């Protein structure tokens, strides 16, 4: 009788371990899908998006559905992979789409306006603070595929909590 009780207890413990492991795996899968395909938080900082975002950093939410569906527009704030360093994520504003003629001022060239035409499959991005932003004025139009998400909500700091006004 003792051996049968021991086997029954062992089976019960193993079933509980398998059930808890399955719940944990399901949760991690849900977390992965949510973070990569729906919505994710991101810490953004630096001077390039002043005054829209804080120099010391904001925590924002970015949704990943709009870029995949091609539902971005001029003026949208986006998270994108840096074309110069793929390990970095940038936050910039979309200024133009494929076929648009962009006239911009590059502080390095003084007050002489520059023009560029955005090629197919690319967008023109710029930071709000043109004097402290590395953007399309420096590295040209970026491929649409580098856009990871559209920023729509600020979580931190608490006094700025809410939808971003742009």
The set of catalytic residues is 48, 92
Q: Is 73 exposed, middle or buried (0-12, 13-18, 19+ CB in 10 A)?
A: exposed
CA distance 48 to 119: 24
DSSP states along 93-109:
EEEEETT-EEEEE-GGG
Cα-atom radius of gyration of the chain, to the nearest Å?
A: 23
């Amino acid at each position: 009788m003792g051996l049968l009780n021991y086997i029954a207890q062992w089976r019960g413990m193993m079933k509980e371990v398998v059930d808890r492991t399955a719940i944990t795996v399901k949760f991690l899968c849900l977390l992965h899908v949510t973070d990569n395909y729906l919505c994710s938080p991101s810490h953004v900082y630096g001077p390039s998006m002043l005054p829209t975002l804080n120099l010391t950093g904001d925590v924002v939410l970015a949704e990943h559905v709009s870029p995949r569906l091609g539902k971005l527009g001029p003026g949208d704030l986006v998270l994108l992979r840096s074309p110069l360093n793929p390990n970095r994520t940038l936050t910039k504003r979309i200024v133009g789409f494929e076929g648009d003629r962009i006239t911009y001022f590059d502080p390095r060239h003084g007050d002489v306006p520059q023009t560029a035409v955005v090629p197919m499959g690319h967008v023109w991005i710029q930071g709000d603070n043109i004097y402290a932003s590395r953007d399309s004025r420096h590295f040209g139009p970026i491929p649409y595929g580098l856009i990871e998400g559209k920023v729509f909500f600020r979580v931190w700091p608490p006094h700025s909590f809410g939808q971003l006004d742009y």
